[in-house]
Amino acid sequence: MRIAACLTWVLAVAAKGEVKTETVEYQQGGTVLEGWLVYDTSVKGRRPGVLVVHQWKGLTDYEKKRAEMLARLGYTAFAVDIYGKGIRAKDAEEAAGLANKFKSDRALLRARVNAGLEVLRKSPQVDPTRLAAMGYCFGGTTVLELARSGAEVAGVVSFHGALNTPTPDDAKRFKGKVLALHGANDPFVSPAEVAAFEEEMRRSGVDWQLTVYGGAVHSFTDWGAGHDPSKGAAYNEKADHRSWEAMKAFFAEILK
């Protein structure tokens, strides 16, 4: 029985195919960008596409790993590049400068993320009628701006992202649903900012959800953020697991 069970497991693994990755170079406004496309070759035909937006240091192995995890769930994932080919922050100070450049120019931020969305939309593995976006920290802010731009996406997921915007009335342009995943003790996103986001969603009639994880601070999904919440940013295993499961349920709902 054990031999038969092992053989069944081996055959099942072999049948899964492999996760294929492609580096994709594209442009926005004359700036060369470089993203990362991931999909499972065992999934036949076109499948839903998910845009993955990086944290404030730029596209790193962290986002690529998340994209691979999405591919193993049956999605085609495109880890987008907001900053530009080869532009990656060396430290927190440089990351803050890069992120603030785009946070202070939301039109440029929207243009960059929409350029990535078009790459995903045109991928031969993707059903262009079933698209979503997710992002971490800076990326969470970015996918909310993507929705505010009126992009044709079924929904967006923000993981511990800033929730503010200089143009809250643009939420009326939302075409899809919103899931915001937030650490209850995040010192970088104030209760007032959370309340303003809730009011923005209500006033605009958006189909939205806000899930708050007790004990979690900023960057609660980031495996490399350390484990000391007193620093304001730290990994939280429970919040990471729960938020990923919430995202999976959300995508199952909106990308049927």
**Model-level pTM?**
0.92
pLDDT reported for residue 1: 37
Tens-level pLDDT at each residue, the chain (256 residues): 333 333 333 333 334 569 999 999 999 999 999 999 999 999 989 999 999 999 999 999 999 999 999 999 999 999 999 999 999 999 999 999 999 999 999 999 999 999 999 999 999 999 999 999 999 999 999 999 999 999 999 999 999 999 999 999 999 999 999 999 999 999 999 999 999 999 999 999 999 999 999 999 999 999 999 999 999 999 999 999 999 999 999 999 999 8
Which domains are assigned to the chain?
20-254 (3.40.50.1820)
pLDDT reported for residue 256: 85
Contacts 24+ apart (CB under 8 A), 245-251: 246/179, 246/181, 246/211, 247/134, 247/157, 247/159, 247/179, 247/181, 248/73, 250/155, 250/157, 250/177, 250/179, 250/209, 251/48, 251/50, 251/73, 251/75, 251/132, 251/155, 251/157
